[in-house]
Structure 1
Amino acid sequence: MDKIGLELDRVVFIGRTFEEYLDMFSITLDELKDKKVLDCPAGACSFTAIGNKKGLDVTACDIAYYHQGEALKNKGLQDVEHAMKKMEKAKNHFKWDYFKDVDDLKKHRLNALYDCANDMKENNEHYISVTLPELPFEDKAFDIILSAHFLFTYADRLSYEFHLKTLHELLRVAKEEVRIFPVVDLEGKRYEHLDKILGYLDEKGFDVEEVKASYEFQAHANSMLIIKNKD
Protein backbone atom coordinates (compact mmCIF):
# COMPACT_ATOMS: atom_id res chain seq x y z
CA MET A 1 0.00 0.00 0.00
CA ASP A 2 1.03 3.61 -0.40
CA LYS A 3 3.05 5.36 2.27
CA ILE A 4 1.74 8.80 1.39
CA GLY A 5 -1.97 8.87 2.11
CA LEU A 6 -4.34 6.97 4.32
CA GLU A 7 -3.59 3.26 4.26
CA LEU A 8 -6.69 1.10 4.55
CA ASP A 9 -6.58 -2.62 3.84
CA ARG A 10 -10.33 -2.99 3.33
CA VAL A 11 -13.38 -1.00 2.27
CA VAL A 12 -14.57 0.22 5.65
CA PHE A 13 -18.08 0.70 7.03
CA ILE A 14 -17.65 4.27 8.22
CA GLY A 15 -20.02 7.20 8.18
CA ARG A 16 -20.01 10.93 7.61
CA THR A 17 -22.51 13.25 9.25
CA PHE A 18 -25.44 15.02 7.63
CA GLU A 19 -23.60 18.36 7.91
CA GLU A 20 -20.52 16.91 6.20
CA TYR A 21 -22.68 15.79 3.29
CA LEU A 22 -24.10 19.28 2.77
CA ASP A 23 -20.57 20.69 2.76
CA MET A 24 -19.00 17.96 0.60
CA PHE A 25 -21.68 18.22 -2.04
CA SER A 26 -22.13 22.01 -1.80
CA ILE A 27 -25.86 21.56 -1.44
CA THR A 28 -28.45 23.04 0.92
CA LEU A 29 -31.40 21.62 2.77
CA ASP A 30 -33.75 23.77 0.70
CA GLU A 31 -32.30 22.42 -2.56
CA LEU A 32 -33.06 18.87 -1.41
CA LYS A 33 -36.65 19.52 -0.35
CA ASP A 34 -39.31 17.90 -2.55
CA LYS A 35 -36.60 15.74 -4.16
CA LYS A 36 -36.18 11.98 -4.01
CA VAL A 37 -32.57 11.48 -2.97
CA LEU A 38 -30.40 8.36 -3.04
CA ASP A 39 -27.18 8.00 -1.04
CA CYS A 40 -25.12 5.33 -2.83
CA PRO A 41 -23.16 3.73 -1.34
CA ALA A 42 -24.16 5.14 2.01
CA GLY A 43 -22.12 3.11 4.47
CA ALA A 44 -22.66 4.20 8.06
CA CYS A 45 -23.50 7.80 7.17
CA SER A 46 -26.21 9.65 9.06
CA PHE A 47 -27.41 11.54 5.99
CA THR A 48 -30.49 9.33 5.54
CA ALA A 49 -31.35 9.24 9.23
CA ILE A 50 -31.07 12.98 9.83
CA GLY A 51 -32.32 13.96 6.37
CA ASN A 52 -35.61 12.14 6.77
CA LYS A 53 -36.08 13.59 10.25
CA LYS A 54 -35.71 17.02 8.66
CA GLY A 55 -38.49 16.24 6.18
CA LEU A 56 -36.43 15.06 3.23
CA ASP A 57 -37.06 11.92 1.17
CA VAL A 58 -33.77 10.01 1.35
CA THR A 59 -32.95 6.36 0.65
CA ALA A 60 -29.62 4.73 1.46
CA CYS A 61 -28.12 1.70 -0.27
CA ASP A 62 -24.96 -0.27 0.41
CA ILE A 63 -23.60 -3.80 0.15
CA ALA A 64 -23.12 -3.75 3.93
CA TYR A 65 -26.88 -3.68 4.45
CA TYR A 66 -27.06 -7.40 3.70
CA HIS A 67 -25.99 -7.55 7.35
CA GLN A 68 -28.14 -5.82 9.93
CA GLY A 69 -28.58 -5.09 13.60
CA GLU A 70 -25.82 -5.38 16.16
CA ALA A 71 -23.51 -7.29 13.81
CA LEU A 72 -23.38 -4.39 11.37
CA LYS A 73 -23.05 -1.83 14.15
CA ASN A 74 -20.18 -3.81 15.67
CA LYS A 75 -18.44 -3.95 12.28
CA GLY A 76 -18.77 -0.18 12.12
CA LEU A 77 -17.25 0.21 15.57
CA GLN A 78 -14.34 -2.03 14.59
CA ASP A 79 -13.84 -0.12 11.32
CA VAL A 80 -13.81 3.23 13.12
CA GLU A 81 -11.08 1.95 15.43
CA HIS A 82 -9.18 0.52 12.45
CA ALA A 83 -9.38 3.78 10.51
CA MET A 84 -8.42 5.95 13.47
CA LYS A 85 -5.25 3.93 14.06
CA LYS A 86 -4.32 4.42 10.43
CA MET A 87 -5.25 8.11 10.70
CA GLU A 88 -2.73 8.69 13.48
CA LYS A 89 0.04 7.67 11.08
CA ALA A 90 -1.32 9.67 8.14
CA LYS A 91 -2.69 12.77 9.90
CA ASN A 92 -0.13 15.09 8.33
CA HIS A 93 -1.85 14.48 4.99
CA PHE A 94 -5.15 15.87 6.25
CA LYS A 95 -6.37 19.38 7.03
CA TRP A 96 -7.41 19.87 10.64
CA ASP A 97 -9.77 22.80 10.47
CA TYR A 98 -13.06 20.96 9.89
CA PHE A 99 -12.11 18.57 12.71
CA LYS A 100 -9.89 19.63 15.61
CA ASP A 101 -7.92 16.41 15.91
CA VAL A 102 -8.19 12.63 15.56
CA ASP A 103 -10.32 12.38 18.71
CA ASP A 104 -12.77 14.93 17.33
CA LEU A 105 -12.87 13.07 14.01
CA LYS A 106 -13.58 9.82 15.86
CA LYS A 107 -16.43 11.46 17.75
CA HIS A 108 -18.06 12.58 14.48
CA ARG A 109 -17.60 9.16 12.89
CA LEU A 110 -19.16 7.43 15.90
CA ASN A 111 -22.07 9.90 16.01
CA ALA A 112 -22.80 9.15 12.35
CA LEU A 113 -22.60 5.41 12.97
CA TYR A 114 -24.95 5.54 15.97
CA ASP A 115 -27.48 7.71 14.10
CA CYS A 116 -27.38 5.30 11.16
CA ALA A 117 -27.64 2.14 13.26
CA ASN A 118 -30.52 3.50 15.36
CA ASP A 119 -32.43 4.65 12.27
CA MET A 120 -31.97 1.25 10.62
CA LYS A 121 -33.80 -0.29 13.58
CA GLU A 122 -36.69 2.16 13.36
CA ASN A 123 -36.91 2.77 9.59
CA ASN A 124 -35.30 -0.22 7.94
CA GLU A 125 -37.24 0.38 4.71
CA HIS A 126 -34.95 3.34 4.00
CA TYR A 127 -31.89 1.07 3.80
CA ILE A 128 -31.57 -1.12 0.71
CA SER A 129 -29.02 -3.89 0.18
CA VAL A 130 -27.26 -3.58 -3.18
CA THR A 131 -24.24 -4.99 -4.94
CA LEU A 132 -22.76 -2.46 -7.32
CA PRO A 133 -22.51 -2.06 -10.25
CA GLU A 134 -26.19 -3.09 -10.27
CA LEU A 135 -29.07 -1.29 -8.57
CA PRO A 136 -32.59 -2.67 -7.95
CA PHE A 137 -34.37 0.55 -8.88
CA GLU A 138 -36.44 1.67 -11.86
CA ASP A 139 -35.14 4.17 -14.42
CA LYS A 140 -35.13 7.75 -13.08
CA ALA A 141 -36.35 6.57 -9.67
CA PHE A 142 -34.50 9.38 -7.86
CA ASP A 143 -34.07 13.06 -8.60
CA ILE A 144 -30.60 13.40 -7.09
CA ILE A 145 -27.96 10.78 -6.28
CA LEU A 146 -25.09 11.52 -3.91
CA SER A 147 -22.07 9.20 -3.94
CA ALA A 148 -19.21 9.80 -1.51
CA HIS A 149 -15.83 8.19 -0.88
CA PHE A 150 -16.23 5.11 -3.05
CA LEU A 151 -15.76 5.68 -6.77
CA PHE A 152 -12.29 7.11 -7.41
CA THR A 153 -11.42 6.74 -3.70
CA TYR A 154 -10.72 3.01 -3.99
CA ALA A 155 -9.03 3.29 -7.37
CA ASP A 156 -6.46 0.72 -6.32
CA ARG A 157 -9.08 -2.04 -6.08
CA LEU A 158 -11.98 -0.95 -8.32
CA SER A 159 -11.26 -1.28 -12.05
CA TYR A 160 -12.00 1.31 -14.71
CA GLU A 161 -14.68 -1.03 -16.08
CA PHE A 162 -16.32 -1.19 -12.65
CA HIS A 163 -16.29 2.60 -12.43
CA LEU A 164 -17.91 2.90 -15.85
CA LYS A 165 -20.61 0.30 -15.14
CA THR A 166 -21.42 1.89 -11.79
CA LEU A 167 -21.67 5.35 -13.35
CA HIS A 168 -24.03 3.97 -16.00
CA GLU A 169 -26.25 2.51 -13.29
CA LEU A 170 -26.24 5.65 -11.15
CA LEU A 171 -27.17 7.75 -14.17
CA ARG A 172 -29.87 5.27 -15.19
CA VAL A 173 -31.74 5.73 -11.90
CA ALA A 174 -31.11 9.49 -11.68
CA LYS A 175 -33.73 11.82 -13.10
CA GLU A 176 -31.75 15.03 -12.64
CA GLU A 177 -28.17 14.61 -11.49
CA VAL A 178 -25.44 12.55 -9.84
CA ARG A 179 -22.84 14.11 -7.55
CA ILE A 180 -19.61 12.23 -6.76
CA PHE A 181 -17.14 13.33 -4.08
CA PRO A 182 -14.14 13.39 -4.13
CA VAL A 183 -12.26 12.88 -7.42
CA VAL A 184 -9.03 11.67 -5.79
CA ASP A 185 -7.90 8.32 -4.41
CA LEU A 186 -6.69 7.46 -0.90
CA GLU A 187 -3.30 8.97 -1.72
CA GLY A 188 -4.92 12.27 -2.65
CA LYS A 189 -4.07 11.77 -6.32
CA ARG A 190 -6.58 12.69 -9.04
CA TYR A 191 -8.19 9.51 -10.38
CA GLU A 192 -5.97 8.42 -13.26
CA HIS A 193 -8.84 7.71 -15.68
CA LEU A 194 -10.94 10.75 -14.78
CA ASP A 195 -10.33 12.66 -18.01
CA LYS A 196 -11.21 9.53 -19.97
CA ILE A 197 -14.47 9.23 -18.03
CA LEU A 198 -15.25 12.92 -18.53
CA GLY A 199 -14.77 12.56 -22.27
CA TYR A 200 -16.93 9.45 -22.37
CA LEU A 201 -19.79 11.12 -20.47
CA ASP A 202 -19.61 14.16 -22.72
CA GLU A 203 -19.86 11.92 -25.79
CA LYS A 204 -22.92 10.26 -24.27
CA GLY A 205 -24.63 13.63 -23.96
CA PHE A 206 -24.34 14.35 -20.25
CA ASP A 207 -23.48 17.76 -18.82
CA VAL A 208 -20.43 17.22 -16.61
CA GLU A 209 -18.82 19.77 -14.33
CA GLU A 210 -16.00 19.50 -11.82
CA VAL A 211 -16.88 21.79 -8.91
CA LYS A 212 -14.85 22.91 -5.91
CA ALA A 213 -16.40 22.26 -2.51
CA SER A 214 -15.85 24.25 0.68
CA TYR A 215 -15.13 20.97 2.48
CA GLU A 216 -11.56 19.69 2.46
CA PHE A 217 -10.40 17.17 5.04
CA GLN A 218 -8.18 14.86 3.02
CA ALA A 219 -5.60 17.04 1.32
CA HIS A 220 -6.57 17.74 -2.33
CA ALA A 221 -10.00 16.09 -1.85
CA ASN A 222 -11.97 19.29 -2.32
CA SER A 223 -13.88 18.86 -5.57
CA MET A 224 -16.72 16.76 -6.93
CA LEU A 225 -18.30 15.81 -10.21
CA ILE A 226 -21.82 16.97 -11.02
CA ILE A 227 -23.28 14.93 -13.87
CA LYS A 228 -26.63 16.11 -15.22
CA ASN A 229 -29.12 14.48 -17.55
CA LYS A 230 -30.05 16.79 -20.40
CA ASP A 231 -33.58 15.42 -20.77
Structure 2
Amino acid sequence: MSLEENRLDLSRIVFIGRTFDEYMAMFGLAEEELKGRTILDCPGGACAFTARANTLGATAVSADIAYGYPVRSLAEKGLEDIAHAMAQLDKARAGFKWDYFSSVEELRANRTRALRECVSDMERYPERYVPAVMPVLPFEDGRFDLTLSAHFLFMYGDRLDYDFHLKSLRELLRVTRSELRIYPLVDLSGKRYGQMDELLAEIAGDGCTTEEVQVPYEFQKGTGHMLKIIKG
Protein backbone atom coordinates (compact mmCIF):
# COMPACT_ATOMS: atom_id res chain seq x y z
CA MET A 1 0.00 0.00 0.00
CA SER A 2 1.20 3.55 -0.68
CA LEU A 3 -0.27 6.90 0.22
CA GLU A 4 -0.28 7.70 -3.48
CA GLU A 5 -2.76 4.87 -3.95
CA ASN A 6 -4.80 5.94 -0.94
CA ARG A 7 -5.45 9.67 -0.79
CA LEU A 8 -6.87 10.14 2.68
CA ASP A 9 -9.93 12.18 3.48
CA LEU A 10 -9.56 14.55 6.42
CA SER A 11 -11.25 12.21 8.88
CA ARG A 12 -8.45 9.66 8.33
CA ILE A 13 -5.56 12.11 8.72
CA VAL A 14 -4.02 12.49 12.17
CA PHE A 15 -2.96 16.13 12.47
CA ILE A 16 -0.64 16.21 15.48
CA GLY A 17 2.77 17.84 15.66
CA ARG A 18 5.87 18.37 17.78
CA THR A 19 7.32 21.57 19.15
CA PHE A 20 10.42 23.27 17.80
CA ASP A 21 12.38 22.17 20.88
CA GLU A 22 11.39 18.54 20.30
CA TYR A 23 12.61 18.78 16.71
CA MET A 24 15.95 20.16 17.78
CA ALA A 25 16.38 17.27 20.22
CA MET A 26 15.07 14.58 17.84
CA PHE A 27 17.48 15.61 15.12
CA GLY A 28 20.43 16.63 17.27
CA LEU A 29 20.38 20.19 15.96
CA ALA A 30 21.60 23.49 17.40
CA GLU A 31 20.04 26.84 16.50
CA GLU A 32 23.23 28.12 14.86
CA GLU A 33 22.99 25.26 12.35
CA LEU A 34 19.74 26.67 10.95
CA LYS A 35 20.73 30.17 9.90
CA GLY A 36 21.17 30.61 6.18
CA ARG A 37 20.11 27.05 5.30
CA THR A 38 17.22 25.87 3.17
CA ILE A 39 15.35 23.15 5.10
CA LEU A 40 12.48 20.81 4.28
CA ASP A 41 10.29 19.21 6.95
CA CYS A 42 8.49 16.25 5.38
CA PRO A 43 5.96 15.26 6.50
CA GLY A 44 5.46 18.47 8.45
CA GLY A 45 2.04 17.77 9.96
CA ALA A 46 1.11 20.17 12.76
CA CYS A 47 4.73 20.73 13.79
CA ALA A 48 6.10 24.12 14.85
CA PHE A 49 9.56 23.65 13.35
CA THR A 50 9.03 25.55 10.09
CA ALA A 51 7.45 28.53 11.84
CA ARG A 52 10.28 28.91 14.35
CA ALA A 53 13.17 28.03 12.01
CA ASN A 54 12.23 30.87 9.68
CA THR A 55 12.45 33.36 12.54
CA LEU A 56 16.01 32.11 13.21
CA GLY A 57 17.30 32.81 9.72
CA ALA A 58 16.51 29.56 7.92
CA THR A 59 14.40 29.27 4.79
CA ALA A 60 12.19 26.40 5.92
CA VAL A 61 9.31 24.70 4.12
CA SER A 62 6.96 21.92 5.19
CA ALA A 63 5.34 19.34 2.92
CA ASP A 64 2.44 17.09 3.91
CA ILE A 65 -0.65 15.43 2.48
CA ALA A 66 -2.73 17.35 5.05
CA TYR A 67 -1.93 20.77 3.59
CA GLY A 68 -4.43 20.22 0.82
CA TYR A 69 -7.18 20.99 3.34
CA PRO A 70 -8.29 24.41 4.66
CA VAL A 71 -6.28 25.72 7.60
CA ARG A 72 -9.33 26.17 9.84
CA SER A 73 -10.39 22.58 9.23
CA LEU A 74 -6.90 21.38 10.12
CA ALA A 75 -6.92 23.46 13.31
CA GLU A 76 -10.18 21.86 14.42
CA LYS A 77 -8.99 18.38 13.44
CA GLY A 78 -5.76 18.92 15.34
CA LEU A 79 -7.55 19.71 18.60
CA GLU A 80 -9.75 16.65 18.19
CA ASP A 81 -6.72 14.44 17.49
CA ILE A 82 -4.83 15.76 20.52
CA ALA A 83 -7.78 15.02 22.78
CA HIS A 84 -8.10 11.50 21.36
CA ALA A 85 -4.36 10.81 21.60
CA MET A 86 -4.19 11.95 25.22
CA ALA A 87 -7.12 9.71 26.17
CA GLN A 88 -5.41 6.72 24.53
CA LEU A 89 -2.04 7.55 26.08
CA ASP A 90 -3.42 7.22 29.58
CA LYS A 91 -3.94 3.53 28.80
CA ALA A 92 -0.46 3.02 27.36
CA ARG A 93 1.80 4.98 29.71
CA ALA A 94 4.19 2.03 30.15
CA GLY A 95 5.37 2.32 26.55
CA PHE A 96 6.75 5.82 27.13
CA LYS A 97 9.54 7.46 29.12
CA TRP A 98 8.32 10.28 31.33
CA ASP A 99 11.42 12.40 31.67
CA TYR A 100 11.10 14.83 28.73
CA PHE A 101 7.42 15.23 29.62
CA SER A 102 6.50 14.68 33.25
CA SER A 103 2.77 14.13 32.70
CA VAL A 104 0.03 13.68 30.12
CA GLU A 105 -1.10 17.24 30.83
CA GLU A 106 2.34 18.64 30.05
CA LEU A 107 2.39 16.62 26.84
CA ARG A 108 -1.08 17.92 25.92
CA ALA A 109 0.08 21.51 26.47
CA ASN A 110 3.08 21.00 24.20
CA ARG A 111 1.07 19.32 21.44
CA THR A 112 -1.48 22.15 21.60
CA ARG A 113 1.24 24.81 21.48
CA ALA A 114 2.83 23.17 18.44
CA LEU A 115 -0.54 23.06 16.66
CA ARG A 116 -1.26 26.72 17.38
CA GLU A 117 2.19 27.86 16.20
CA CYS A 118 1.84 25.81 13.03
CA VAL A 119 -1.68 27.01 12.23
CA SER A 120 -0.78 30.65 12.87
CA ASP A 121 2.20 30.37 10.52
CA MET A 122 0.10 28.60 7.87
CA GLU A 123 -2.35 31.48 7.93
CA ARG A 124 0.40 34.12 7.61
CA TYR A 125 2.71 32.27 5.21
CA PRO A 126 0.71 29.65 3.28
CA GLU A 127 3.51 29.31 0.71
CA ARG A 128 5.63 27.57 3.36
CA TYR A 129 3.15 24.66 3.61
CA VAL A 130 3.10 22.62 0.43
CA PRO A 131 0.61 19.78 -0.22
CA ALA A 132 2.45 16.61 -1.23
CA VAL A 133 1.70 12.91 -1.49
CA MET A 134 4.74 10.72 -0.95
CA PRO A 135 6.67 9.21 -2.66
CA VAL A 136 6.49 12.26 -4.97
CA LEU A 137 7.56 15.77 -3.96
CA PRO A 138 6.86 18.95 -5.98
CA PHE A 139 10.39 20.36 -5.62
CA GLU A 140 13.36 20.54 -7.95
CA ASP A 141 16.50 18.45 -7.49
CA GLY A 142 18.74 19.63 -4.64
CA ARG A 143 16.33 22.33 -3.48
CA PHE A 144 17.17 21.94 0.23
CA ASP A 145 20.43 21.90 2.15
CA LEU A 146 18.86 19.77 4.87
CA THR A 147 15.74 17.60 4.95
CA LEU A 148 14.12 16.37 8.16
CA SER A 149 11.59 13.54 8.25
CA ALA A 150 9.93 12.60 11.54
CA HIS A 151 7.43 9.95 12.60
CA PHE A 152 6.65 8.56 9.17
CA LEU A 153 9.10 6.18 7.47
CA PHE A 154 9.96 3.14 9.60
CA MET A 155 7.12 3.96 12.05
CA TYR A 156 4.64 2.41 9.63
CA GLY A 157 6.72 -0.48 8.37
CA ASP A 158 3.71 -2.76 8.77
CA ARG A 159 1.54 -0.58 6.53
CA LEU A 160 3.98 0.93 4.02
CA ASP A 161 5.92 -1.69 2.08
CA TYR A 162 9.63 -1.85 1.31
CA ASP A 163 9.21 -0.41 -2.18
CA PHE A 164 7.42 2.62 -0.73
CA HIS A 165 10.19 3.15 1.81
CA LEU A 166 12.90 2.95 -0.86
CA LYS A 167 11.07 5.26 -3.28
CA SER A 168 10.37 7.75 -0.48
CA LEU A 169 13.98 7.76 0.71
CA ARG A 170 15.24 8.33 -2.82
CA GLU A 171 12.72 11.11 -3.38
CA LEU A 172 13.68 12.86 -0.12
CA LEU A 173 17.31 12.57 -1.18
CA ARG A 174 16.55 13.86 -4.68
CA VAL A 175 15.31 17.20 -3.32
CA THR A 176 18.17 17.37 -0.80
CA ARG A 177 21.53 18.92 -1.62
CA SER A 178 23.51 17.67 1.36
CA GLU A 179 21.90 15.84 4.26
CA LEU A 180 18.74 13.94 5.23
CA ARG A 181 17.86 13.07 8.82
CA ILE A 182 15.10 10.61 9.77
CA TYR A 183 13.61 9.96 13.22
CA PRO A 184 12.86 7.45 14.70
CA LEU A 185 14.13 4.09 13.42
CA VAL A 186 11.44 1.92 15.01
CA ASP A 187 7.77 1.19 14.46
CA LEU A 188 4.84 2.01 16.73
CA SER A 189 5.60 -1.02 18.91
CA GLY A 190 9.24 0.04 19.37
CA LYS A 191 10.73 -2.59 17.01
CA ARG A 192 13.50 -1.60 14.62
CA TYR A 193 12.39 -1.50 10.98
CA GLY A 194 12.91 -5.08 9.78
CA GLN A 195 14.44 -4.28 6.37
CA MET A 196 16.65 -1.43 7.54
CA ASP A 197 19.95 -3.09 6.59
CA GLU A 198 18.71 -3.91 3.09
CA LEU A 199 17.38 -0.39 2.65
CA LEU A 200 20.62 1.25 3.79
CA ALA A 201 22.64 -1.02 1.50
CA GLU A 202 20.64 0.25 -1.48
CA ILE A 203 21.11 3.87 -0.40
CA ALA A 204 24.85 3.27 0.04
CA GLY A 205 24.85 1.87 -3.49
CA ASP A 206 23.44 5.21 -4.64
CA GLY A 207 26.58 6.87 -3.28
CA CYS A 208 25.28 8.02 0.11
CA THR A 209 26.87 7.61 3.54
CA THR A 210 24.61 6.55 6.40
CA GLU A 211 25.04 6.80 10.16
CA GLU A 212 22.76 5.99 13.09
CA VAL A 213 23.12 8.65 15.78
CA GLN A 214 21.89 8.68 19.36
CA VAL A 215 19.85 11.78 20.16
CA PRO A 216 18.68 13.40 23.42
CA TYR A 217 15.01 12.64 22.84
CA GLU A 218 13.19 9.41 23.58
CA PHE A 219 9.54 9.77 24.51
CA GLN A 220 8.29 6.50 23.06
CA LYS A 221 10.62 3.80 24.36
CA GLY A 222 13.19 2.70 21.80
CA THR A 223 13.15 5.91 19.76
CA GLY A 224 16.44 7.45 20.92
CA HIS A 225 18.23 7.27 17.57
CA MET A 226 17.99 9.03 14.21
CA LEU A 227 19.38 8.14 10.80
CA LYS A 228 21.73 10.63 9.15
CA ILE A 229 22.26 10.26 5.39
CA ILE A 230 24.94 12.33 3.67
CA LYS A 231 24.85 12.59 -0.11
CA GLY A 232 28.06 11.73 -1.91
- Output the TM-score relative to the length of structure 2: 0.93
- 1:38 is matched with 40
Task: State the AA in 1 paired with 2:122.
Answer: M
Alpha carbons of structure 1 residues 193 and 227: separation in structure 2 relative to 1, 3 Å: same
> Unpaired runs of 5+ in structure 1?
1-9
- Matches of 2:71 and 2:200, distance apart in 1: 39
Out of 77, 80, 85, the residue aligned to residue 83 of structure 1 is: 85
1:80, distance to aligned residue in structure 2 (A): 0.9
The total of aligned residue pairs comes to 222
Equivalent residue runs for 1:1-231 within 5 Å:
12-230=14-232
Question: Helix, strand or coil for the counterpart of 1:190?
Answer: coil
- Matches of 1:56 and 1:155, distance apart in 2: 32
- Matches of 1:82 and 1:159, distance apart in 2: 27
> Unpaired runs of 5+ in structure 2?
1-11
What value does the CA root-mean-square deviation take over the aligned residues? 1.2
The superposition leaves residues 93-132 of structure 1 with CA deviations (integer Å, 9 ceiling, x where unpaired) of: 1000100111110100000000000111111111000011
Question: Helix, strand or coil for the counterpart of 1:200?
Answer: helix
Question: Contact between 2:34 and 2:56, CA under 8 Å: does it hold in 1?
Answer: no
The superposition leaves residues 1-42 of structure 1 with CA deviations (integer Å, 9 ceiling, x where unpaired) of: xxxxxxxxx652111000100000001111121110000000
Greater alpha carbon shift after TM alignment, 87-96 vs 37-46: 87-96
Question: Helix, strand or coil for the counterpart of 1:210?
Answer: strand
Alpha carbons of structure 1 residues 102 and 80: separation in structure 2 relative to 1, 3 Å: same
Question: Contact between 2:14 and 2:81, CA under 8 Å: does it hold in 1?
Answer: yes
The superposition leaves residues 136-164 of structure 1 with CA deviations (integer Å, 9 ceiling, x where unpaired) of: 00000000000000001112211111111
1:69, distance to aligned residue in structure 2 (A): 2.0
- Matches of 2:149 and 2:75, distance apart in 1: 21
- Matches of 1:68 and 1:57, distance apart in 2: 23
Percent identity over the alignment is 50
